[in-house]
Amino acid sequence: MADKIPFDDDRQVNNEGLKDDYIRNNSKRAKKQIIIIFCFSTAVLLIASLIVLYFVKTSKETNSDDFNPAAAVKYITPKNTIEISSYTSATPSVKLSETGTLKVGEYVQFGKYYEDPILWKCVKIENDKPMLVSENILCMKAYDAAESGTDSVGSNHVEKYGSNKWHNSNIREWLNAVSNVNFSTQEPNKFAVILGNEYDNELGFLSNFSSSEIESIEPMTHEGVTDKVYLLSSDELSLLGNNPTRELTEKAFQLSYYISEFKKKGIDIGFTKTWAYWTRTPYPSVSSNVYIVGGIANLAASSANASNIGVLPALNLKTDKFKYGKGTRTEPYK
């Protein structure tokens, strides 16, 4: 057998190697192309599926006649809007399309007294801050106790019948207390007031309000002192219109010792009967007398320690914007 030519053998070997490399490279390239095509196809199918699902869902929501509270858009509270009341339900009975703005003559439900919601009427608005007055007399209390500690005992009117000064009166300190009242003068116990209804051990008026409600009250300054809750002055009675008389709430009627004494005597005065209530204006000529609004709208005066006179509180809010309600007496803002 003839010897092979070395050159030809080397070339034959090299050709076989190149062929194997070519096959391997083509195989790898084909696999990559298959993977790319598969991934691209999968992505296209996924996107198409999402688009179909979106249009199906949108169509269902658009055509549905049933309102689903859980799917409702949550309203955004403006910066100057105060959410005054807390709700156990996520969907209020009245939901405004936009924030409601309180107007003079409209009503607000705000705070409680003995667990009963308080209805207030807006009587004035200044710089978007409304002044509210309770629509009803909430309770009967003495304006201030006899400073001697005992009714009719003492050397002057203040010691005998209490002081007519607003700044340190028992009623002012009670109206603005959020828990126990730290009376700065004689406390209104059963010896220092007349006709019952003592309140020396009663928690302050604001103890019935939530912390957010208390925070939403705008402090006001009268007679040199700053208060969250106050009584009207005799001059401010004009804000109540031509008839400033007010009626007792049912709770005030039930809790009044004075009225219970009438009942014991068989005298029925009627629940809806209008009642006298305090102003914060002192009677000028007698240091123990305070102006009151009588049951027939006349301005009269009473000794400060008389506890059969009603309390009609007033306050101002930091905003006139509300989220719920219509501002009517039956559907007040909240």
- What rounded mean pLDDT belongs to the chain? 80
pTM for this structure? 0.70
184 in a structural domain: yes
Do 254 and 195 lie in a common domain? yes
Task: Identify the domain boundary among 66, 86, 109.
Answer: 66
21 in a structural domain: yes
Domain count, the chain: 2
Q: Are strands 95-101 and 107-113 parallel, antiparallel or unpaired?
A: unpaired
85 in a structural domain: no
pLDDT in tens, 142-197: 999 999 999 999 999 999 999 999 999 999 999 999 999 999 999 999 999 999 99
Do 55 and 102 lie in a common domain? no
Do 51 and 150 lie in a common domain? no
Give pLDDT, residue 97: 38
Do 52 and 161 lie in a common domain? no
Do 254 and 314 lie in a common domain? yes
Do 106 and 150 lie in a common domain? yes
CB contact at 8 A, 142 and 162: yes
Confidence of residue 29 (pLDDT cuts 50, 70, 90): low
Task: Identify the domain boundary among 66, 87, 122.
Answer: 66
Cβ atoms within 10 Å, residue 86: 9
In this prediction, residues 99-121 reach a mean pLDDT of: 95
C-alpha 302/C-alpha 292 separation (Å) is 7
72 in a structural domain: no
Do 61 and 99 lie in a common domain? no
41 in a structural domain: yes
Do 133 and 51 lie in a common domain? no
In terms of residue numbers, what domain contains 208? 95-324
Give pLDDT, residue 155: 98
C-alpha 264/C-alpha 297 separation (Å) is 28
Do 113 and 7 lie in a common domain? no
Q: What is the DSSP string of 156-190?
A: SHHHHH----STT-HHHHHHT-SSS---SSS---T
Do 22 and 131 lie in a common domain? no
Do 62 and 107 lie in a common domain? no
Calculate Rg over the CA atoms of the chain. 39
Do 57 and 110 lie in a common domain? no
Rounded percentage of the chain residues whose pLDDT exceeds 70: 70
